Amino acid sequence: MFFKPFLPPLLAAILVSQTSAAIIGTNIPSSPLTAARIAALPAAEQPAWKNYLENSARQMLADQDFLRAELKMRMLKTTAQPAGANSTKGISLDAPADWYGQAEARHIAEVIVSFQTPAGGWSKNLDMTRAARRPGESFAAEDAPKNQPAADNDAPLDRNWNYIGTFDNDATVTQLRFLAKVVATGGTNGTAFRESFLRGLGYIFAAQFPNGGWPQVWPLQGGYHDAVTFNDDAMLNVLALLRDVAGGENEFAFVPAQIRAKAAANFKRGLDCLLAAQIVVNGRRTVWCQQHDALTLQPASARNYEMPAQTSSESAAIILFLMQLPEPDSNVVSAVHAACAWFEKTKISGKAFKPVAGRGRELVDAPGSTVWARYYEIGTDRPIFGDRDKTIHDDVGEISLERRNGYGWFRDTPKRVLEHYARWSKLHPPP
């Protein structure tokens, strides 16, 4: 069953159009997953979601108790902060196979194991090439900006407990893929690496929503982090890992058969959720948002300048993933054809988003160039742009210079999708 159009009613609440105003709406924060929202579900759906929410709360308490016990044992008053890094720096997944059996790779694996949370996941932006985590040290590098307003969509509920267990910025999945490559080489500490990998798979299984999606952060952190997350390929990374684990080939051959079977089942549930989230407008499938509400699968907002919308970049990655499936069913085939039709409809020809002397980046004439806006208004397909003050605009030149220069408002990723689609569609005509 597919996600039905929720516009224009929600559009009226979020994007209140004004005929001659620079601001066309305000970005409304996402709703977290709560007991009250679950209580409003049909009775038959409530038990699974209640159990999920209770498991999340119980695991967060266990994680925090673990760190408190370390602090008490070491007689420390505060946690130390580990070294940070951009994304998953240092965790190479494309080195020669024999490198993963050498001292450098095994050291990184030991550091990875040391930063695994009690729940089984990892935080993001950690330097895994240096020292192992010490007792009493945080599982996460400091991430939240200082003096961040409490009303900011990205402000953490607890600055000392932020993104501890996440799929954001390639976290958790990258660590698991690295560990699998090290396990495959044998050698010392093989048992510890294997156990860490299997515990990480358990984390992925536990984090999966009853409807098959995954949040950005688990145990749940609240806010938009509770939404089904396609941003930064978070959910796609999980699905790809489960697909490979289920196949049991190469570095995943060591995974027990019953766990491979569970990975296959959870992959199928995740794929079904992904397809169900595809936005439908006037009876036609289009593409996806960066985030979709955990319970309703409706498009949801993220950071202040990331509003509910049809998104070109995340949707392009989704379609490339779907076209890689070896035996796509009619549901997948229909989703791909519909999304690619939308890409054709929304492309912006003869333009490029480039720096202009003294004015910052602007959309300028560029013969032969094709781009897509990052965000399109659902129901109209017009490009829209957000700012840090949560205002929404239909002209990129109207947002602040800081956001105009600091965010990818236009991309050409769908161009590669359409090139691949030209070949794929001949093998998979519309059902």
Report, as residue numbers or ranges, the catalytic residues.
169, 303
CA dihedral 274, 42, 44, 301 (to 10 degrees): 30
Q: How far is CA 72 from CA 65, 115, 142, 166, 275, in A?
A: 10, 19, 22, 26, 47
Q: How far apart are CA 117 and CA 139, in angstroms?
A: 7
Pairing of strands 310-311, 375-376: antiparallel
Rg from Cα positions in the chain: 22
> Beta partners for 248?
none
**331 CB contacts (<8 Å, ≥6 apart)?**
275
Instruction: Give the tokens for residue 69.
Output: 């016990």
Q: How far apart are CA 323 and CA 293, in angstroms?
A: 25
Q: How far is CA 345 from CA 233, 312, 327, 349, 411, in A?
A: 24, 12, 27, 11, 15
CB 395 within 8 A of CB 21: no
Instruction: Give the tokens for residue 72.
Output: 């008490």
Instruction: Give the tokens for residue 358.
Output: 């003294």
Instruction: Give the tokens for residue 389.
Output: 């003050």
CB 153 within 8 A of CB 386: no
Helix ranges (DSSP H) in 95-188: 103-114, 173-183
Q: What angle do CA 180, 183, 187 make, to 5 degrees?
A: 160
Instruction: Give the tokens for residue 44.
Output: 């038959």
**168 CB contacts (<8 Å, ≥6 apart)?**
124, 216, 217, 229, 231, 232, 234
**293 CB contacts (<8 Å, ≥6 apart)?**
30, 31, 227, 228, 299, 300
CB 188 within 8 A of CB 143: no
DSSP state, 144? Answer: S
